[in-house]
A and B are shown apart, each in its own frame.
Chain A
Amino acid sequence: MFEKIGAFVISKIHTFWYGIGYVGRVLSCSVRFFSHGKPSRKIFVMQLLFTYIEALPIVILLGLALGSVIYIVGYPFLLNIGQTSLIYEMLVIVISRELGPILVSLVVTARSANAISTEIGSMVADHEIESYVSVGVDPVEHIVAPRFLGVTASVFLLNLYFSFAGLLAPSVIVQLVNPVSFHEYFLGLLQTLTVRTILVSCIKSILFGMVISICSTYYGFKVERASTEVPVVGIKAVGKSMLFIIIVDVVVTAASYL
């Protein structure tokens, strides 16, 4: 039994250090991408297309819906306790700082984490990765780095659009619930929106993008030989991405309130 526990602990330590090494390699290859990434630029552009452009409508719709709901539900409640001025703070905190980055990253996880891990997994099973190695192409540099940069940039951009949509939608809804001029509404928002809030939102979205791309590519390479392993790594990539997003969110949120 002790032997089994020992073997388990050793394998977990190995996995941990391998993971750390993988993250380091992805980061260094992503830096190199800007100077040596010409053959991989198309992959980067395609990743932006699939993760950013194609997810844009759903993210904007989500932002509009959430912004409207927060205003419709929140305003009467704040009116009852005589704190209507807090509606702007509520919108900014929920939409831009807390819910925006996490919702966007969950949409991206659902759409892209599975797609990336299964694509890479299939490439491993079909010996395409070995084929890259044989011609002198570093798989991390050619396959992972453009996806890492593409997904990270996508989550960052989608989060911006989500925030814009989420903060814009109530400006229309407000006319139905509590008619105030657009000027007054946006002035209230701008007075609440601080650089710190924007910074926290941006940091979260960038970190979440990094988490999604690293988890999905890492698990993609976990396929060893059979194509039956491919859907398994897809599920693992989505699950681990969500887990690490929540952990990173808790850490960044806690740090931002210190």
Chain B
Amino acid sequence: MILFKVQNVSFVSQQHTIVNNVSFEIEKGSINEFHGPSGGGKSTLLKLTAGILIPTQGSVLYNNKDIQTMTRSEDLHFRKECSFVFQDSALWANQTILQNIQLPLQIHFPKMSAGERSERINAVCAKVGYDKDLNVRPSDLSAGEQKKIALARALVSEPQTLFLDECTSSLDDGSAKVVTHLLHQYVSDGNTIVYISHNEKFRWEFPGLLFEVNNGQVQEKAIDIDDLR
């Protein structure tokens, strides 16, 4: 089943074409990688696919519905189903870690009780391997810890698709293993991941469909495991 259909998408920023007339599809339950040189437009393409950036031209369909023309309730449903982990974590600096993880729950589950919410937050923090104080600000954490919280924030609403932009960068080996194990479990539950990673170990762990992104153009091919070796 096709989950995302990217149709003739282009993206221009400050008169520079970053993504140029790109089309591809992402299937439900699949593993997908955007790979290519730095500055080739991978992160922009990932954000366009996730509906975070609006294409200058073309459209992105999620379950055959154009993301741009979704109603507020359809958009909320889409955001609940698809989460994004940013390359630089992008935690809200003026909120505590607890508030950072809590906000998606308040948005997507407004009727959830405080007890239930706290239970779910504690569970997701344990899953990503964060066991420290939740009442501190992101600036009090290391880059690796911020990454774990970003992943916890993305997973707390139990999405069916995860967009991961360098999700293991700044993580130590132990933490990277925890995250890898967590993502294996996530994929084995039939969920979809679309990721960008320059970490060969991570790419080896998650072989799937490869989208080679270069100069705003995309070429689709299967990941060659031998290449990774």
Least CB distance from B24 to A in Å reads 21
Least CB distance from B98 to A in Å reads 13
B91 touches A135 (CB 8 A): no
B103 touches A128 (CB 8 A): no
Can you name the residue of chain A whose Cβ is closest to the Cβ of B165? A127
B103 touches A39 (CB 8 A): yes
Give every chain B residue within 8 A of A128 (Cβ-Cβ).
90-93
Interface residues as binary, A109-145 with B (CB distance below 8 Å gives 1, 0 otherwise): 0000000000100110011101111111100000000
Give every chain B residue within 8 A of A224 (Cβ-Cβ).
13-14
Least CB distance from B123 to A in Å reads 18
Give every chain B residue within 8 A of A130 (Cβ-Cβ).
47, 52-53, 86, 90
Complex CA distance for A38 and B47, rounded to whole angstroms: 28
Residues of A within 8 A of B (CB): 38-39, 119, 122-123, 126-128, 130-137, 224
Complex CA distance for A52 and B51, rounded to whole angstroms: 37
Complex CA distance for A187 and B17, rounded to whole angstroms: 70
B79 touches A135 (CB 8 A): yes
> Which residues B8-49 have CB closer than 8 A to chain A?
13-14, 47
Can you name the residue of chain A whose Cβ is closest to the Cβ of B99? A42
The reply on B224 being an interface residue by CB < 8 A is: no
The reply on B148 being an interface residue by CB < 8 A is: no
8 tightest Cβ-Cβ pairs between the two chains A and B: A136-B79, A131-B90, A127-B90, A134-B84, A135-B104, A39-B106, A136-B76, A130-B52
B90 touches A39 (CB 8 A): no
B90 touches A136 (CB 8 A): no
Least CB distance from B46 to A in Å reads 11
Give every chain A residue within 8 A of B80 (Cβ-Cβ).
136
- CB < 8 Å A-B pair total: 57
Complex CA distance for A49 and B84, rounded to whole angstroms: 33
The reply on B88 being an interface residue by CB < 8 A is: yes
- Chain B interface bracket (under 10, 10 to 19, 20 to 34, 35 or more): 20 to 34
Complex CA distance for A240 and B92, rounded to whole angstroms: 28
A selection of 26 A-B contacts at a CB cut-off of 8 Å is A38-B106, A39-B103, A39-B106, A119-B94, A123-B92, A127-B88, A128-B93, A130-B47, A131-B91, A131-B92, A132-B92, A133-B51, A133-B52, A134-B50, A134-B79, A134-B84, A135-B83, A135-B107, A135-B153, A136-B75, A136-B76, A136-B79, A136-B107, A137-B103, A224-B13, A224-B14
The reply on B108 being an interface residue by CB < 8 A is: yes
Complex CA distance for A39 and B104, rounded to whole angstroms: 10
B90 touches A135 (CB 8 A): no
Give every chain A residue within 8 A of B153 (Cβ-Cβ).
135
Complex CA distance for A90 and B83, rounded to whole angstroms: 61
Give every chain B residue within 8 A of A137 (Cβ-Cβ).
103, 107
B108 touches A136 (CB 8 A): yes
Can you name the residue of chain B whose Cβ is closest to the Cβ of A136? B79
Contacts beyond the supplied A126-B88, A128-B92, A136-B78: 13 A-B pairs with Cβ under 8 Å: A38-B110, A119-B94, A122-B93, A126-B93, A127-B88, A128-B91, A128-B93, A130-B53, A130-B86, A130-B90, A131-B91, A131-B92, A136-B76
Complex CA distance for A257 and B38, rounded to whole angstroms: 63
Complex CA distance for A136 and B225, rounded to whole angstroms: 36
Complex CA distance for A38 and B111, rounded to whole angstroms: 12
A134 touches B92 (CB 8 A): no
> Which residues B41-69 have CB closer than 8 A to chain A?
47, 50-53
Give every chain A residue within 8 A of B157 (Cβ-Cβ).
135
Residue from A122, A131, A224 having most chain B Cβ neighbours under 10 A:
A131
